[in-house]
Structure 1
């Protein structure tokens, strides 16, 4: 009882002595209206005008049916938001009161009690406005008047003497994907898309904290924390700056003060990427105290690691790989787009789930694509906790951008805000200037399309150099710690039509899909680092059904399903590839299933080609992880969070230890990859040659045991296909391959290898049985090979779209109990 009383007393004392506080204005009652109208409607903050219109039943859900077309008028209107809030006499006694908007989308005028206090023009900036002189005791009225981003962008575009591609989005510092992409709808939003608050403070406040790792060894880590502190006046009394248990006394001068505090951690534990160790995180708090008064405090959670991008000339060109904590790391991962067209709908739970899904699929890196948003803090927190390195693009994508002085300054302040917010996360690996702008200027033919003069083309290149080779890297140097400044100007560094794209830098290889090359071309087009490549597949049946507001009509000719494919030739390309490798079903459910298998097959071929080439290739990031609405796309996880066949395949292909067979010129090679920390000293390889009914036709392998080094590749001797296949037909047999650690008598990796395309396999009909073990566990049996077993049910399955060997079983964990589970295999689509 006494402890409780003491705690309550101390807590009250802290509140009394605290010289700072804040009020969340997001939770106030907000209203909005079309600027042309007088009728105010209820609004939510954070939010967007589309969400508010939906909640007020003014527009239908744009994600359903073909409603996207019905809401395009919204982007051309101006929208007003307002709220009322009270301020007490006690609050007005504070020396300073700031109104802070963490995100405004995009062009707005802010009024407080009828007076214009700020104009905004950047969705990605934080706006801090001193408002003490505008506030009054009692009721205050806050208004934010948004102007149409499309109309304003067009006005800005008209000031340039030549036509810029993708106008007006190039002139608007807002999420570029909102203007429509080949996987996303056109939904150009407006609104208060992040939190808004009042901050009350006195004497001094902490603007920013960053830290630098000076040295990192087994016995100690030497850090320096750098606090940027703003002081109201030249202080007469010293302020104590606390960093956890350490403190320094400083005499603050009026304005900005930079305070450095050295700090040592003894016997430090490293933050490691997923698959390489634990993700140790350390908590720090920086606080300002003068006498008994706490002026301000900020908390940071950091991880101790070193990271560098290694580019060294070699006989093949130039390397491109990341070294983490002194060790080369093979980057396995994906590309991230915004998880919703309406970003305020992204919950902490959805961020955590999607990043956990990356970890569960054995990934260690994710690229935040430059056409979206700088993600919520929860995204980076989840990456820190799950060991997912972040390749962070700045938000510029696939167009030309202006570089007038106002635009330059706007970009610099955007970079400042985002660098200061993100840089302390241990998951941050690289800053990248943009997505595909260098390539767009050089390769996409815009200059010819829009009939540029020589001077126009030179101006575009000068503008590009100014923004991405001067403004952004200079801002990073200015605002980031020295060990957080790794910068890459553009991804890719060289377009996929140029041979150098395979010998240096990072590559976006789109010969598959855009070039309509066969999947097998991936075996030839292997770059040093594959940062983008992909193929489309349909979403799960559950997500497909969510496209409909009424009863779903699952038919490929249905206009609603067609409208949820944003690539102009998407259906045509999918079917063209499907005919090459699979029988094309007429039944919708089977077509959906095969489209997912097709996508998974293509990406498996690509990933395995990249991993076999290690260490020539040191990274593979497929396009893309997620969706922003229900759609046919390149994603491996659909909008509702369901794993497509691709994500299950990625999990298998990204295992730390894998066997990757390669067939070429009637020879079969076996590559064994080890991305793990352990060296296996007595490794053997063996395989059985099996008919689909389980009959064994023979066996083979290596009699000699070999060493599989940590972070290494082991290439076993070649085998003649004629020797393996013998008198059998290629489409009637397969290999079951095992790599074993003879010392521990454990299987390190196993795989199946087929000698014919899926459509040519002479599969017997499997008798698949499902046995319920518990409410959330089942066991699946088969008598003959069941290829690509597909479990259909309203739950997440621990494995799916897998091969089940003859006369074997597999146990599967369900995310929740379900009554009805349907099962299908490839045989069902061939008969």
Structure 2
């Protein structure tokens, strides 16, 4: 087979809609893969949609049409030769013309397309054009034909197979891209080609399924090589499917991060006829088994994932597309983002159902790092028609992508969709639907049947959240006794302490908002817009009443600052506390609870959101809180009803034995009660320690803290909320020296200092600090290491907007 990429010589031009005159005038150079937004941005014809109020100014894109043009030079087809024009992805509503003839139309960005163009080849240049029409126009027309179905946002994203968050989300912009977003090429072949190769590896066995497309009815041979093992099958003429099974008793086991190594084995599939090699396929596999335990128990029914027979407490993060403009996402960006998850001690990423079927690069990166992947089918927060033409598109894309992703050992779970079953039960859909289809057939019949055929090696979950094995009308899909749970009542209406009221079997979504880091925010907004009520700030705050929820969430614990800089720090600190509080609660309930998946790891642009890493890849304070909360060994104070306990978590393979020192002390350092005890925790388990009454009997709750230290780890418990505590607002001072690669900032406490942080990005945009949110007792110090290429005045690290803590938020002068 000969493959020729067609990525050069493209232009794009307006073809219809409310295009500004300066853009409609002439074609501009186009990058393929790419989108119209990135091409016009590169040409200087539109402003950066991520800055200021530009997103709203580019809404005319929603009704626009565009034509991509290039010229292809390709020799005529030989006898018996097939020549296919292959698009790996078109976004979204497109008509493809080759040599002046229309060869196909597309309505789905989540699948590939192949067109036979051998009859259109001739010597000389052949024009190739792709016209993209408005996906919004198409979705609205489709909705009129199929009937309106409930959704949370204005645009009918559920009526077209395009990335749902293309149309805007409560953390993402409404840009509605169009373009040739994946590779395009000509493929020349004869006799037969490998249409699909599907390697399925378990702990000691590899089965490779092969589907052929034939151009001649002759015998062919398929050879499969995996490491040192090889097997061959013959496929007679007329047979276009086969399977090769290899026993690999000596296979090196692939393990998740924190449980072992991640050896990957190259797999080569070679297709031959009697004279030559016709086609080859290369992939990698990891040998491991995956199980999901959903057995009943005294609490309800379990939801526990196992790899190679070992149960895994999932320390996860939800994953959205790394950039709203998808074609700007490189493998290097994916590596950096996944590495940030690994550095936060996470072992799983959940690919959320309002985005895309993730790329091979994403999965390769996870395979190499031992990061488990939970892949949603891309259906989110809406009712979906089960009628044609939408039904065929959903099932066709599902078949293609299941086969494409099946080789990856990191893929551990298929999930039917996001919040669709829950929405049907709780969000008023039943009345709105009035008996119309809403997607149940996909979740309960189609996807399970497809996976039974294509990938029986992995478990399937019908929806997040859902309670498998029960009809939704019998057991609520968000019941904490079964399956998966999303906990959004805490953020939307309560407080992060609301988590204490539930013990989910597996919590696959929960989180708390905060603005991006200061450097990211100030790069996106003009100085005059650095107000939480400014139009530009609110355009970058997509959550319903998001700022109101931020303020109400603060008010439970802290005074709400009037100064914007203080408010920015306070909301970031509250997000960090909410994160660690919820995670500590969930982990302390293992093995009843066996999973925590924070919403969310990343952002796709600069925005106030639930992400712990902002849209520029900078670490928010919550990331540091999560890293500590997800550590293999963790000590933290937790609540059980009206009791305060110390939870000691050992998620390692070795026993953990240390002496724990408990002290109740005044903020000035005076020790009021002290007890030491030995702590022993077996591997992969949790020990809860009762606290002696003398340690909890605070004589002045506004000036005392309970501190537990064990094995270099510290847990702190306060007896009142920050707004009621008599912190010393000037409890710390810093001394900074320049060191190789940056600066060393030593902070010393004169009084108890809570959640000390050095916000290094406020000194230099490239600056990154090694740790954050440190509790210091009087006389203690901590040295923060700051990496930066910038040369700055060392004194700036002592500036009040840089050297932060909870203490500085207590001054009445700083609140409104």
TM-score of the alignment, normalized to the shorter chain, above 0.5: yes
Q: Which residue of structure 1 lines up, in the alignment, with residue 717 of structure 2?
A: 753
**Matched position secondary structure for 1:573:** helix
- Matches of residues 667-706 of structure 1 in structure 2 within 5 Å? 667-680=643-656, 682-702=657-677, 705=678
Structure-2 separation of matches of 1:281 and 1:696: 54
- Matches of residues 146-545 of structure 1 in structure 2 within 5 Å? 146-161=132-147, 164-165=150-151, 168-213=156-201, 216=203, 221-235=204-218, 246-254=229-237, 257-290=240-273, 293-448=276-431, 452=432, 456-460=433-437, 463-480=438-455, 482-484=456-458, 486-493=459-466, 501-514=479-492, 516-545=493-522
Contact 1:777 1:811 (C-alpha < 8 Å) held by counterparts: no
Structure-2 separation of matches of 1:761 and 1:300: 59
Q: Using a 3 Å threshold, how does the CA distance of structure 1 residues 762 and 130 change in structure 2: closer, same or farther?
A: same
Which residues of structure 2 form unaligned runs of 5+?
Answer: 18-23, 812-816
Q: Give CA-to-partner distance per residue, 1:274-324, whole Å, 9 cap, x none.
A: 111222211222223446633211111111111111101111111111011
Q: Which residue of structure 2 lines up, in the alignment, with residue 558 of structure 1?
A: 534
Question: Structure 1 residue 634: deviation in Å?
Answer: 0.8
Q: Which residue of structure 2 lines up, in the alignment, with residue 645 of structure 1?
A: 621
Q: Using a 3 Å threshold, how does the CA distance of structure 1 residues 500 and 187 change in structure 2: closer, same or farther?
A: closer
1:828 lines up with 2:808 in the alignment: yes
Contact 1:30 1:45 (C-alpha < 8 Å) held by counterparts: no
Q: Which residue of structure 2 lines up, in the alignment, with residue 111 of structure 1?
A: 97
Structure-2 separation of matches of 1:367 and 1:176: 16
Residue number among 732, 741, 747 corresponding to 1:775 in the alignment: 741
Q: Give CA-to-partner distance per residue, 1:598-620, whole Å, 9 cap, x none.
A: 11111211111111111111111
Question: Structure 1 residue 518: deviation in Å?
Answer: 2.2
Q: Which residue of structure 2 lines up, in the alignment, with residue 4 of structure 1?
A: none
Q: Using a 3 Å threshold, how does the CA distance of structure 1 residues 665 and 115 change in structure 2: closer, same or farther?
A: closer
Contact 2:201 2:285 (C-alpha < 8 Å) held by counterparts: no
Contact 1:362 1:655 (C-alpha < 8 Å) held by counterparts: yes
Contact 1:112 1:135 (C-alpha < 8 Å) held by counterparts: no
Structure-2 separation of matches of 1:571 and 1:392: 31
Structure-2 separation of matches of 1:413 and 1:574: 42
Residue number among 711, 715, 718 corresponding to 2:684 in the alignment: 711
Q: Give CA-to-partner distance per residue, 1:666-721, whole Å, 9 cap, x none.
A: 643222111111123x444322333333333331133xx4541111111223422x
Q: Using a 3 Å threshold, how does the CA distance of structure 1 residues 754 and 259 change in structure 2: closer, same or farther?
A: same
Q: Give CA-to-partner distance per residue, 1:22-81, whole Å, 9 cap, x none.
A: 111123333332346673222221112222222333322221111111111111122111
Q: Which residue of structure 1 lines up, in the alignment, with residue 782 of structure 2?
A: 810
Structure-1 separation of matches of 2:100 and 2:484: 52
**Matched position secondary structure for 1:58:** coil
Question: Structure 1 residue 348: deviation in Å?
Answer: 1.3
Q: Which residue of structure 2 lines up, in the alignment, with residue 24 of structure 1?
A: 5
Further displaced range: 658-667 or 620-629: 658-667
Contact 1:212 1:483 (C-alpha < 8 Å) held by counterparts: yes
1:592 lines up with 2:568 in the alignment: yes
Contact 1:411 1:472 (C-alpha < 8 Å) held by counterparts: no
Structure-2 separation of matches of 1:290 and 1:464: 44
Q: Using a 3 Å threshold, how does the CA distance of structure 1 residues 508 and 366 change in structure 2: closer, same or farther?
A: same
Structure-2 separation of matches of 1:222 and 1:239: 18
Question: Structure 1 residue 234: deviation in Å?
Answer: 2.6
**Matched position secondary structure for 2:321:** coil
Contact 1:32 1:42 (C-alpha < 8 Å) held by counterparts: no
Contact 2:319 2:600 (C-alpha < 8 Å) held by counterparts: yes
Contact 1:408 1:471 (C-alpha < 8 Å) held by counterparts: no
Contact 2:219 2:273 (C-alpha < 8 Å) held by counterparts: no
**Matched position secondary structure for 2:208:** strand
Structure-1 separation of matches of 2:365 and 2:135: 32
Contact 2:478 2:484 (C-alpha < 8 Å) held by counterparts: no
Q: Which residue of structure 2 lines up, in the alignment, with residue 622 of structure 1?
A: 598
Question: Structure 1 residue 499: deviation in Å?
Answer: 9.5
**Matched position secondary structure for 1:186:** coil
1:133 lines up with 2:119 in the alignment: yes
Which residues of structure 1 form unaligned runs of 5+?
Answer: 1-19, 741-746
Extract structure 1 runs of 4+ deviating beyond 6 A: none
Q: Give CA-to-partner distance per residue, 1:476-512, whole Å, 9 cap, x none.
A: 22322x213x211111116999596111010011111
Q: Using a 3 Å threshold, how does the CA distance of structure 1 residues 94 and 142 change in structure 2: closer, same or farther?
A: farther
Q: Which residue of structure 1 lines up, in the alignment, with residue 709 of structure 2?
A: 738
Structure-1 separation of matches of 2:220 and 2:652: 55
CA RMSD of aligned residues (A): 2.5
Structure-2 separation of matches of 1:493 and 1:541: 38
Q: Which residue of structure 1 lines up, in the alignment, with residue 83 of structure 2?
A: 97
Q: Using a 3 Å threshold, how does the CA distance of structure 1 residues 287 and 668 change in structure 2: closer, same or farther?
A: same
Contact 2:664 2:695 (C-alpha < 8 Å) held by counterparts: yes
Q: Using a 3 Å threshold, how does the CA distance of structure 1 residues 755 and 270 change in structure 2: closer, same or farther?
A: farther
Question: Structure 1 residue 556: deviation in Å?
Answer: 2.5
Residue number among 739, 743, 756 corresponding to 1:789 in the alignment: 756
Question: Structure 1 residue 424: deviation in Å?
Answer: 0.9
Structure-1 separation of matches of 2:631 and 2:61: 46
Q: Using a 3 Å threshold, how does the CA distance of structure 1 residues 812 and 206 change in structure 2: closer, same or farther?
A: farther
Question: Structure 1 residue 343: deviation in Å?
Answer: 0.7
Further displaced range: 611-620 or 28-37: 28-37
Contact 1:232 1:254 (C-alpha < 8 Å) held by counterparts: no
Q: Give CA-to-partner distance per residue, 1:347-384, whole Å, 9 cap, x none.
A: 21111111111111011111111111112211111111
Structure-1 separation of matches of 2:94 and 2:220: 41
Question: Structure 1 residue 197: deviation in Å?
Answer: 1.2
Q: Using a 3 Å threshold, how does the CA distance of structure 1 residues 581 and 227 change in structure 2: closer, same or farther?
A: same
Contact 1:231 1:253 (C-alpha < 8 Å) held by counterparts: no
Q: Which residue of structure 1 lines up, in the alignment, with residue 726 of structure 2?
A: 762
Q: Which residue of structure 1 lines up, in the alignment, with residue 33 of structure 2?
A: 46
Structure-1 separation of matches of 2:226 and 2:290: 25
Q: Using a 3 Å threshold, how does the CA distance of structure 1 residues 373 and 426 change in structure 2: closer, same or farther?
A: same
Contact 1:231 1:256 (C-alpha < 8 Å) held by counterparts: no
Contact 2:638 2:645 (C-alpha < 8 Å) held by counterparts: yes
**Matched position secondary structure for 1:568:** coil
Q: Give CA-to-partner distance per residue, 1:212-247, whole Å, 9 cap, x none.
A: 346x3xxxx232222333332232575655555555
Count of paired positions: 782
Question: Structure 1 residue 272: deviation in Å?
Answer: 1.2
Contact 2:91 2:178 (C-alpha < 8 Å) held by counterparts: yes
Contact 1:768 1:783 (C-alpha < 8 Å) held by counterparts: no
TM normalised by structure 1 equals: 0.89
Contact 2:421 2:477 (C-alpha < 8 Å) held by counterparts: no
TM normalised by structure 2 equals: 0.91
